[in-house]
Chains A and B, each alone.
Chain A
Amino acid sequence: MSVDVSNYVVLAAVMFFIGVAGVLLRRNPLIVLMSIELMFNAANLALVAFSRVWVNNAGHIFVFLVVTVAAAEAAIGLAIVVALFRRAKNVDVDEVAELRG
């Protein structure tokens, strides 16, 4: 392999923390969900890189599982956004406090 695996892992780490910053900084729930997708994909990249190092496709299977979980998460998250919007006509993750006791 011409490129060292550390490069892939550092790239995945940078991408993951861009996603973390997005989740912490944005109030638009759609962009928060997209940042979570970024984090999923960063983890996937690390898994594929490690899988390539060991020439063992268990990592590929795990990436498949993560993709499925990401799809389920996106569907549920967007359903929650739609439900919130229908209910209050206002979508701002800071003002959604209905579950507060």
Chain B
Amino acid sequence: MTLFWILAVILIASAVFTVTQRSPVYSVVGLLTNFLALAALYLTLNAEFLAIIQVVVYSGAILMLFVFVIALLSSGVGPFREGPDRLPRVLLPALAASLAGLGFLVYAVARVPLGPLPAHRPTSTLGQAGAADVFGSVSDFGVALFTTHLLPFEITALVLMVAVVGVILIAGDAAPLPTRGRHRKAAREREPIVKAGR
């Protein structure tokens, strides 16, 4: 009970920190805190495999990608955070829209309290997190992933392959240059970040 509230406060505070920081590097630190707190929350919900995935994939892979891009973009060409970052004109409408959406959602949740429902169609038994063959354990997740839910797993592979091809097409060195319009000069002066060995 206490653990939930501590983690909730950390989660909200780090999310606000992420959104409000001026420098993207600070935002990454806030996001890291957020992801670690979220992994702990997953553990309180018996989802131990997802907690590990959260730390390994999000904190390990995705955030490192962000850090690398920040390092790449801000090397040699001045700080990445130059210029005004706020949009004063849309500040109030955007905050109002966010708060209205949040209020709507919270109202909907509070209107129909979920409470402790009876187990509907349990796929496995609940047990202490960390024990073998209980709900949320690695074997439980793995059996479900490779038997009942094989199709989503295959779709995962497709999504990743499309992402790899897309990244190479978009950011690769052989990306087509713009030949018309006001960016022609910029394109001619463009220098590849990594010289291709052709």
Contact = CB atoms under 8 A, between A and B. Distances in A.
Interface residues of A, number: 76
Contacts of A87: 178, 183, 186-187, 190
Interface in B47-88: 47, 49-50, 53-54, 57-58, 61-62, 65-66, 69-70, 72-73, 77, 80-81, 83-87
A34 B117 CA distance: 34
Nearest to B20: A22
A88 B182 CA distance: 10
B1 interface: yes
Contacts of A7: 4, 8
Contacts of A65: 152, 155-156
Interface SS of chain A: helix, strand, loop or mixed?
A: helix
Nearest to B108: A13
Contact of A71 (B35, B41, B57, B72): B57
Nearest to A26: B85
B190 A48 contact: no
A71 B184 CA distance: 33
A52 B30 CA distance: 27
Given A2-B1, A8-B45, A37-B62, A18 B19 contact: yes
Interface residues of B, number: 101
B106 A55 contact: no
Contacts of B163: 71-72, 75-76
Contact of A48 (B27, B50, B81, B84): B50
Interface in A42-92: 44-45, 48-49, 51-58, 60-65, 67-72, 74-76, 78-83, 85-89, 91-92
Interface in B141-196: 141, 144-145, 148-149, 152-153, 155-156, 159-160, 162-164, 166-167, 170-171, 175, 178, 181, 183, 186-187, 190, 192-193
27 contacts: A3-B4, A6-B110, A9-B109, A11-B8, A11-B11, A20-B101, A25-B19, A25-B90, A31-B19, A31-B24, A37-B58, A38-B15, A45-B38, A48-B47, A52-B45, A52-B135, A53-B117, A56-B121, A60-B136, A60-B141, A61-B152, A72-B163, A76-B163, A81-B69, A83-B175, A86-B190, A87-B178
